[in-house]
Structure 1
Amino acid sequence: MSSDGTPGTTGVDPAQLWLRSGEPRRGRRPSFSREAITAAAVALADAEGLEAVTMRRVAAEIGAGVMSLYSYAPDKETLLELMVDHVSGELTAPAPPSGDWRADLKAIAHTQRAHMLRHPWLPAALSTRRVPGPNTLAFLEHTLAVLRPTGLDGAAKLEIFAQLTAFVAGHVAHEVAQAAVSRSPDRAAAEARYLAAVAADGHHPELAEALSAPVRPVTAEATFTRFLGRLIDGLDTE
């Protein structure tokens, strides 16, 4: 049993999780639903971060005993799967596939970025998640349709979806961390002074040249768009 009272995890059975009702089948009518429990966990993660989500804390948020939650989510791993797919229900296809798969992929990535910025805990959650639920599968289906003009086989299309999602998640995690740094002017100024000193020490000529280049737009949106273009424009469909 874990430190928050969660029984040991043996892995999530996707058929058990997604193809069966989320409500207990026996006993008296339940006071809560899997949807309500998941929504409470998501609200907690949005407000305080993923580390705040424990079975005990979620139970307290909905006014239930912690043991009663195990009928709906037997462990935190399962709860995390439910949370990710719950918020994935917010994802909608930016537009029907246009035939320009690179442009469509970029639109998908921008949708994913906005989604992860609304739920900053998602990048960390996605790094350990393995079981796509119905909402995630709907978005995956759209992405596969976008990639149809490439002529790639199914495995390659799935790899591109995974690569794109990992890129967005990593970028958003970095973006959120940098936003926290920018809220500390003293720390940002100290880092700038350090880099200036390193660039001037004569031992890092490549870095000095790079730092002397014209400054590009540094808004979060412009930076993401620039990085995304390098990724998608460089994808090989051969």
Structure 2
Amino acid sequence: MTRDGGAGAAGVDPEQLWLNPGQPRRGRKPAFSREAITAAAVALADAEGLEAVTMRRVATQVGAGVMSLYSYASDKETLLELMVDHVSGELPTSGAATGDWRADVKAVAHDQRELMLRHTWLPAALSTRRSLGPNTLAFLERALAALRPTGLDGAARLEVFAQLTAFVAGHVAHEILQAAATRSPDRVAAEARYLATVAADGRHPELAEALTAPARPLTPDATFTRFLNRLVDGLGTG
């Protein structure tokens, strides 16, 4: 990604980003820390959305000249990696196993969902990030440990964690859109009338049956838990 724009060919160098932190790339020693710059970018994304985060806006937030920011983040892509790992530091990374690995894995997913609901830009950011910073790695250790009793090998556990994270991110993104839609009751009513009409036309028997099935709790928490249970309870052992 260019400094404030599209993706670059090389992407972020994880060794430079995570193994050599705080080393300015060029020029005089900056007056601001990487942590402060990252926190300012996170606050901006929380308040106005990810599209509001530009190097210029972040520089204004911390009272710096925009060029000084490039000592810590060479472009917006790098800044995004820093932001994702920064908020990942809010995830709990320890806790005794309960003896029920499915419950432990579900707890991992619930923690991820709570984080993404606090930082609603995170699902979109996760779809483009490429590296694992120290906070993300600490949480990954917890997740892989929770999955160990499944009997899956290390590579498979990594795949399951990636699948779980993708599920949570996708669900939260949908959840946020649904919450916005419910703020328009006329639209919700129109959607219900439309589906009822379609279900009654005789050409969609499967939909008609689905709409007449016993209602399930539709609160966001209940819906997420129901979907998560289907995902995790289907994992086999060995």
**Counterparts of 2:162 and 2:15, CA distance in 1:** 22
**Counterparts of 1:108 and 1:69, CA distance in 2:** 34
Normalized against structure 2, the TM-score is what? 0.94
The 8 Å contact of residues 199 and 208 in structure 2, kept in 1 or not, is answered as: yes
- Superposition deviation, residue 7 in structure 1: 9.5
* Pairwise CA RMSD: 1.9
In structure 2, the partner of 1:90 is: 90
Residue type of the alignment partner of 2:42: V
**Counterparts of 2:93 and 2:198, CA distance in 1:** 46
For each residue in 1:153-207, what CA deviation from the matched residue of structure 2 results, as whole angstroms up to 9, or x when unmatched? 1100100110110100000000000000001111111111111111111111110
Residue type of the alignment partner of 1:173: A
**Counterparts of 2:5 and 2:226, CA distance in 1:** 45
Q: How does 1:32-111 map to 2 (within 5 A)?
A: 32-93=32-93, 95-111=95-111
Normalized against structure 1, the TM-score is what? 0.94
- Superposition deviation, residue 8 in structure 1: 4.7
**Counterparts of 1:169 and 1:104, CA distance in 2:** 19
Note closer, same or farther for the CA distance 1:134–1:94 as it changes in structure 2 (3 Å cut).
closer
For each residue in 1:5-40, what CA deviation from the matched residue of structure 2 results, as whole angstroms up to 9, or x when unmatched? 789562111110001132427765421111011001
The 8 Å contact of residues 39 and 86 in structure 1, kept in 2 or not, is answered as: yes
The structure 1 segments of at least 4 consecutive aligned residues displaced by more than 6 Å after TM superposition are none
**Counterparts of 1:125 and 1:36, CA distance in 2:** 19
Note closer, same or farther for the CA distance 1:142–1:37 as it changes in structure 2 (3 Å cut).
same
Residue type of the alignment partner of 2:170: G
Moved more, 167-176 or 60-69: 60-69
Secondary structure at the counterpart of residue 147 of structure 1: helix
Q: How does 1:128-207 map to 2 (within 5 A)?
A: 128-207=128-207
**Counterparts of 2:61 and 2:186, CA distance in 1:** 37
Note closer, same or farther for the CA distance 1:94–1:172 as it changes in structure 2 (3 Å cut).
farther
Give the gaps of 5 or more residues in structure 2. Answer: none
Note closer, same or farther for the CA distance 1:209–1:6 as it changes in structure 2 (3 Å cut).
closer
- Superposition deviation, residue 101 in structure 1: 1.0
Identity %, equivalent residues: 78
Residue type of the alignment partner of 2:231: L
**Counterparts of 2:237 and 2:50, CA distance in 1:** 37
Give the gaps of 5 or more residues in structure 1. Answer: none
Q: How many residues align?
A: 238
